[in-house]
Structure 1
Amino acid sequence: MSLSPELLTLGQYFAGEFTNQQQALADPAWYVNLCLWHRPVPLFTHDSLTFYAEQANVHKRHQPYRPRLLRLRQTQSTPLSLQVEYYQFHDIDWVKGAGQNPDILTQLTPENVKPLSGCTLPLEVRSTESGELSFHTLNPTRQPCSFNYQGNEYQVFLGFVATAQNLQVYDKGINPQTGQALWGALMGPYRFSKTQDFTADLPIS
């Protein structure tokens, strides 16, 4: 299956290192100054562009956290219809730090990850006033993603809006017992701007 122009555009928006420095300086009470890495990885290339993602406090770049895999995918039934699938790693410690050390990812195989059940979101493609594309995750039920790690249950609300200029991330952790948001985008999305471009690493010809 050839990749659609829409999927290729989203991949170009995604590939890079990002920061929300401007937002953090304007509202430090609610937004930590973060680095966010989206490193392209050559997995599921027949219908997808897949990214290793992790983040770190800008003052603690040596302590990255939330390693995960995002698979931006064309659906089999309708290639123009896009979705994002989230994956977790069997061994988080092995892959942690790959945002800054992408050589770790050369050993990555599908066996190192597993899809998060219920963590697939459709994507809506829109056109901006300038004629560029924007991509919006959809979650009609507003239900968080639930998964188990090392015997503990976790819930996270996932979502983003990607444009050529910025990436808005709505991820936030949810208390499974109370439904209360605990961390992340508690007061609205984190607003990231790209500081390094990794599009040259996309596994496309």
Structure 2
Amino acid sequence: MGEALLNQLATHLAGEFDNRQQSLAEPTWYLHLRLWHRPLPRAVFGEGYAFFIEQISVSSGKPPYRQRILHLTNRDDQIWGQYYALPDPVALSGAATEPARLASLTREALIDLPTCKVAIDYLPASQVFSARLPGDSLCSFAVNGVTTYVQLRFDLGPASPAPGSPLVLQLNDRGVDPETGKTTWGPLMGPFQLVKQSAFSLSQ
């Protein structure tokens, strides 16, 4: 069962997501975002499924940002998602739509982020995969010598139980001040609701 759910989650994640409808309905609170999960060759990790992730603010005219790697594995019927940083994220800006640029990426080139590992549970009643950091922990990493703290959280599943209902990625990542616990960036009025627009093949 664990491996079957891992494959289902990877299949759901592989693709392009967009929250255009949400941004039009509530432009004050939600930017129009587009996000990609581009599958990496299985050889990068040798097990599980890995994705190159980046996103773009559609109306800003700025290049994609938040480039990162997510590696999914199954251990004792628990799915885990481990995030990794890239040594030069800007060098791979736009690679989600130009996957040939990812061909030379290796595990050795990735930066370990030991605090950025989420447990992913499957909720059969809603058919949703739910990812959370353990307890009240925060993902931490350094950017230009400054440590950033992030609450990682997402839910992925059909918008409704109806057959053919689109997949929705509810993205609720937030920057957090570890001393005060206050949100420093991220959605203030609930998660971004990104609807899957197209799918990418996992077979590489």
- TM-score bucket of the superposed structures, by smaller chain: 0.7 to 0.9
CA contact (8 A) 1:154 1:176 kept: no
Look up the match of 1:63: 63
- Show CA shifts across 1:58-106 (max 9, x none): 124651010011111112xx1x210111110011122121122212111
- Show CA shifts across 1:124-178 (max 9, x none): 111135xxx3211133522221112331111111011111421111111123454
Q: 1:194 to 1:101 in 2, by over 3 A?
A: same
The count of corresponding residues between Structure 1 and Structure 2 is 193
Distance 1:96 1:178 in 2: 33
**Structure 1 segments unaligned to the other structure (5+ residues):** none
Distance 2:80 2:28 in 1: 33
Distance 1:140 1:152 in 2: 23
Alignment of 1:107-118 (within 5 A): 107-118=104-115
Relative to the length of structure 2, the TM-score reads: 0.87
Alignment of 1:1-205 (within 5 A): 4-42=3-41, 43-46=44-47, 48-60=48-60, 63-75=63-75, 78=76, 80-128=77-125, 133-164=127-158, 165-198=167-200, 200=201, 202-203=202-203
Identity of aligned residues (%): 36
RMSD: 1.8
Distance 1:70 1:140 in 2: 17
CA contact (8 A) 2:116 2:133 kept: no
